[in-house]
Amino acid sequence: MEFKFSEITGVIVLEMRGNIVGGPAAIQLNDTVHKFIKEGKKNFVVNMDGVDLINSSGLGILISNLTNVKNNGGDLRLSHLSPKIRQIFQITKLSTVFKQYDTAEDAVKSFS
């Protein structure tokens, strides 16, 4: 899993690449989100356009970050889910937990 951050109108956009399956990158991701929260950032978009696979550990990473962000008065929204990834969210009922958008731009605009 690889990721990079950018900021658009006060919203942190996290671009994910590869497989979200846990490991050292997950710890780095959690630490980075914590850092942004300490800096006063509240709203996040996870752009999953480059995600090929997500397993239960990966889902746990997203849930943990969503919980952390919500506990600090913000929200974490998803964009660009492939049909395969979208199906995983539907099967696990996480589609009712995460707000999902077709594009990162639409997700960012949803915070306005």
DSSP state of 112: -
- The model carries a pTM of 0.93
pLDDT tens by residue, 47-94:
999 999 999 999 999 999 999 999 999 999 999 999 999 999 999 999
CA 56 – CA 42 distance, rounded (Å): 25
Q: Are the C-beta atoms of 88 and 56 separated by less than 8 Å? A: no
Predicted local distance difference test score (pLDDT) of residue 69: 97
Assess whether pLDDT exceeds 90 at residue 2.
no
Predicted local distance difference test score (pLDDT) of residue 56: 93
Predicted local distance difference test score (pLDDT) of residue 90: 97
Sequence letter at residue 111:
F
